[in-house]
Amino acid sequence: MLEARDVWLTFRDGGRETHALQSVSVTLPPKGLIAIFGPSGSGKSSLLFVLSGLRRPTRGEVTLEGSPFSGRPEAERAAIRERRFGFVFQRHYLLEYLTARENARLCAALARSGSADRTDELLRRLGLEDKSGRRPSKLSGGERQRVAVARALAHGPAVIFADEPTASLDAENRSCVMRILSEEADRGPVVVATHDEAIVRDAAMTIRLRDGMVA
Ligand SMILES: Nc1ncnc2c1ncn2[C@@H]1O[C@H](COP(=O)(O)OP(=O)(O)OP(=O)(O)O)[C@@H](O)[C@H]1O
Ligand SMILES: [Mg+2]
């Protein structure tokens, strides 16, 4: 459903050019856990951002269900992201003036889909039911990250993108988050940028990057 064709992402910084991605072509399967794996600086976040329409490639294109996606105006890409994609970032980006439950409901409210019941069910599966009334500053780092996972899934997105979702978690939280993401992968693609070999072992497909190229 999502396909990158000969995608380049180049940063110009004074006179210097950095190619974060160089001629990357990938086709995502219709479902399953997809790992983007490689050393720091290899372009994992860049590929995740380009596939999800958060960044426009410098060259090449990303198509969604065979139609141009990366070339569309920002507002159109934003509307597609809002309705159809879910995001978990390495930083959780929770809003401090909302409770855990309100934060978790945010994307579903924006997308006008999902339900309060689905959010509560996700919070329960993530072991947060008794913390759902707390504000982010009253939660641990791992709890905040799990709220961010609930928020990414509450509107039932077609594709989930997660950038190192388990990097700041202990073993127990890591397996809890990965179990939920793997369950979601039964319905649609779940794209995870990661350094974690354990995620690669569970992945249906692994995109290995080195210096911005598929290795
Ligand atoms: N805004 C930017 N301006 C200039 N260079 C950038 C920018 N963002 C990323 N880069 C460069 O692009 C390359 C790929 O970066 P990217 O963030 O995609 O790597 P990564 O594989 O996600 O690394 P990490 O594992 O550390 O998160 C790196 O060399 C990085 O320095
Ligand atoms: Mg990264």
* Mean of pLDDT values over 78-102: 93
Q: pLDDT tens, 37-88? A: 999 999 999 999 999 999 999 999 999 999 999 999 999 999 999 999 999 9
Six-digit token string for 70: 């990366």
- Shortest-distance atom of ligand 1 to CA 13: 4
- Residue 45 in contact with ligand 1 by CB distance below 6 A: yes
Residue whose CA is closest, atom 30 of ligand 1? 41
Contact 51, 4 (CB under 8 A): yes
> Would you say residue 159 has pLDDT above 90?
yes
Contact 2, 62 (CB under 8 A): yes
- pLDDT score of 56: 96
| pTM for this prediction | 0.94
* Mean of pLDDT values over 23-30: 97
- pLDDT score of 92: 82
- pLDDT score of 74: 95
Pocket test for ligand 1, best of 7, 37, 45, 163 (most atoms within 8 A of CB): 45
* Mean of pLDDT values over 104-122: 87
- Residue 9 in contact with ligand 1 by CB distance below 6 A: no
* Mean of pLDDT values over 125-130: 93
Mean of pLDDT over the chain: 94
The DSSP letter of residue 203 is -
Six-digit token string for 135: 């504000």
Q: What architecture does CATH give domain 29-53+75-214?
A: 3-Layer(aba) Sandwich (3.40)
Bridge-partner residues for 27, per DSSP?
3
- pLDDT score of 28: 97
> Would you say residue 114 has pLDDT above 80?
no
Higher-pLDDT residue of 113, 34: 34
- Residue 14 in contact with ligand 1 by CB distance below 6 A: no
The DSSP letter of residue 129 is G
Please report which helix (H) or strand (E) contains residue 208, including its range: strand 205-210
- pLDDT score of 91: 82
